[in-house]
Amino acid sequence: MTRAAPGWNRFARVSRPVAAAVLSLMALLMAWGAAGGVGRNHVAVASPSAAHFDGLVGDHALYARIAQRVAAGESYYTAAAAEHRSGHYPLRPFVTVRLPTLAHIVAALGEQKTMFLFLLVGGAAIVAWYRRLRTEAGIPRYAPIGALFVAANLTQLAAREWLFIHEVAAGALLALALALYRPARPWLAMVIIAAALAIRETIVPVAMLFGLFALIDRDWRAAAGWLAIGLCFAGGLAAHVTTLSAVITPADPASQGWHGQGGWIAYLSFVQTSSLLRFFEGWVAALLVPLALLGWAAWRSRLGLAVLLIQLGYAALLMLFARPANFYWAMLVTPTLFIGLAFAPAALAGLARALRQPAQPVAAPIPASP
């Protein structure tokens, strides 16, 4: 019932010790998550005393108010500095103030049109992933079910409060870019990643990864394109820092830093809260997230490797640096994480077959000649 070629599954022909090691790691991660109390205890949502605006609370209210002031003709940086001070948000270092792109989009289009725009992006990502998983050579016939997991984890695009959170828009753009990425034709994905980077600077590791792939492939045109994006981003970031520095003072509060070090349990909790798993108990995330990562590890392809490295890289960032209030950083990667579940059954079957195979007998040593 599949069109799968045997070479797609990285775990189809592994040795017995490798299979045992991978399955043991999976069991350990699942048990660790299930025993660690994954859930909202590791996530800090806005308190009743946080900033309020037009039915929104906390960061949602902060960014909505800034966008409203920009729509009224005020400078983004003047508005951002004033709202950060009013809500007791830090203004130093510069990364505490978001890039102005999303605020200008909302100010120019209005809330409804902006929401419609990003719903179109999300819909395009779902369709693009369905087509990619349906037409990709060698993978199982049931793989297009992964597009449903994309749809299920882009539902925030339809909620007004998430319109103002930069990770939601950037995550939808990243999901679309990954579905469209092909090493021989990287240009459309390059443009979309540049757009995501303009909204949230934490997309920069993805651009760097694809730039590295271009160098490995010796595709100098693509490498030059990624370099151009990097230079434009550096210039825009420098302008952001310079303009922001003109409206802040030494008396403005500084961030408490990003050293959450919540580890594996915090990562699972952030993913659960930022995905469809928020409607389920924490142990569900403890089981499904390792399976999704295993599925991505199984797909032997450039795209499979790229998404696996992106997922693991952001997982490490969330485990090491994200504070409980930064849980929504996970929305950069949750739209694509659970596509890996479509590959997990074949990965587990391959590992189980490898585990059942008899151990290779050790050859007897050949006696030395007298």
- In tens, the pLDDT along 270-316 reads 999 999 999 999 999 999 999 999 999 999 999 999 999 999 999 99
Residue 1: the pLDDT is 39
Model-level pTM? 0.93
* Residue 254, strand partner residues: 92
Are the CB atoms for 99 and 198 separated by under 8 Å? yes
Residue 364: the pLDDT is 53
Closest-CA residue to 100 (of 242, 224, 226) = 242
The SS3 assignment for 56 reads strand
What are the extents of the domains in the chain? 15-44+260-355
Q: Which tokens hold the place of 199?
A: 């909204």
Q: Which tokens hold the place of 356?
A: 């059942």
Residue 204: the pLDDT is 97
Are the CB atoms for 30 and 286 separated by under 8 Å? yes
Residue 4: the pLDDT is 55
How many alpha carbons lie under 13 Å from residue 170 in its C-beta half-sphere?
A: 26
What single string gives the DSSP state of each residue in 202-214?
Answer: GGHHHHHHHHHHH
Helix (H) or strand (E) holding 356: helix 344-356
Closest-CA residue to 48 (of 58, 39, 38) = 58
Residue 49: the pLDDT is 54
DSSP-derived letter for residue 253 is P
Q: Please identify every stretch of the chain with a pLDDT value under 70, giving residue numbers as ranges.
A: 1-6, 46-50, 359-370
